[in-house]
Structure 1
Amino acid sequence: MNPARTAFAALTQPVPAAAAIGPLRRRFLPRLAGLGRPGHVALTFDDGPHPDATPELLRLLDQAGIKATFFLLGHAVDRWPDIARAITDAGHEIGVHGYHHRLLTRIGPSTTREDLDRATSTITAATGARPRWWRPPYGVANTAALLEAHRLALQPILWTTWGHDWTARCTPDSVYRSIMRKLDHGGTILLHDSDHHAAPKCWLAMLGALPAILTTCRARGLDVGPLSEHGL
């Protein structure tokens, strides 16, 4: 990156963080928010792979005949590469969530670029698939990351509804209700298939809620699938 571009990134680091505010991004940045084609819902999972949660989730999705998009953490892929590869072997999509789960507005441009580069290369090597999507940790980007994502041909994408499935108090019912509260045609669901950066075994609530989420989507006439089918 040339000096002028580096200086610009350093000066404007916090600016894209405003997109993390859900109502603002849905209104002014619908593509970034994950608003896709009517009649379709994108199903996405963050923070994996996980040695217990991810295999159980893959089994559940296989039984339901559903494909999804998984935003992986590089450090978890390094630890469980076989599970990361199992995701792509099952026909699911891969996205980048970073190498470390860091709030990007608290780190500098060079560290930001290094993290995204390392994550992308690690995930590509382990899964055999070149990621198309990138979701920043906590849904908060910075200018350096946006520039680097563009260089790596990664499309930034957030979500329209999430399950709050990372807390110690979450239950299958609370996750289901949280998702359904804002789910509509063209929405993107965010869930988590790990507890790497969350309450221990919180992913059990996600697994318990997912069958009801998929059943309700079908009842509403919504197709569920990965981001590549979402018309973005």
Structure 2
Amino acid sequence: MRLQNRLYVSWRSPTNIDCKLVGPETPCFCLHRYKQHKTDFEEIPKERPIYLPCRVSNCQCKSYHYVPKNGSQPIRCRCKHFSDEHSEVPGYPCKKCSKCSGFHSSFTCGCGQPTYAHETIVETKEERLALGKPVGQDVPYAAMGGLTGFSSLAEGYMRLDNSGIGALPADLLESPVTNMDHPFLKAYSPPGPSQLTAGSSNMTRQVAQLKSSEEDDMAYFERQYQERLKNERIAKAMKKTQDSAPSKSKHP
């Protein structure tokens, strides 16, 4: 059933980036995990949007709804209260104050868009393919949501596939490395013609310096060795002199 009727869940920005691909352990606004919601359907509903109610007893969550966090902390509503201080009832009214008409946060996502501009999307494989989004392989695992691979764990603005910002343009990837680029790129980029000439002279200079350094080290150790031999010879000579000297004894 899961191979044919899998549902893909994502948190999508107005720019069509899946900023968050929901997995089994991704929490909902009701604080329960995605895997604790209804995720398996013998027949996919024809109505849209598709609702994924929470299966935890006494939870009033009618459908899975993703809400981001600020690090490990819940984000605040415009009423200044945290998201977990709001009800999971649709509309998400605040439990702490009466002036809040529903959870509305301007917390900015990594894509540059505010939270309230995003939407939790539940879609089928066919709908996702029609948008050019990756669907991964068909797997029998429960509550996989939008996960299709390791890259799904990254945020959308960092993901270089069609669910994120997409692949980088070829002209950017093939552009020459400059001094403004990351040191890693400068260290491992293939050298150009001018760099080959400069590189050969630099290599010659480095080899010469290395050779000089090795010679200095050998000379130092040789001096230390000769100094030790000299001290040993002096010590032996002094001992021999002491042994050959006549001993003085007192006679009554």
Q: TM-score, normalised by structure 1?
A: 0.22
Which one has the bigger strand percentage?
1
Q: TM-score, normalised by structure 2?
A: 0.21
Return the structure number with greater relative CO, CA threshold 8 A, min gap 6: 1
Indicate the structure (1 or 2) with the bigger Cα radius of gyration: 2
Which one has the bigger helix percentage?
1
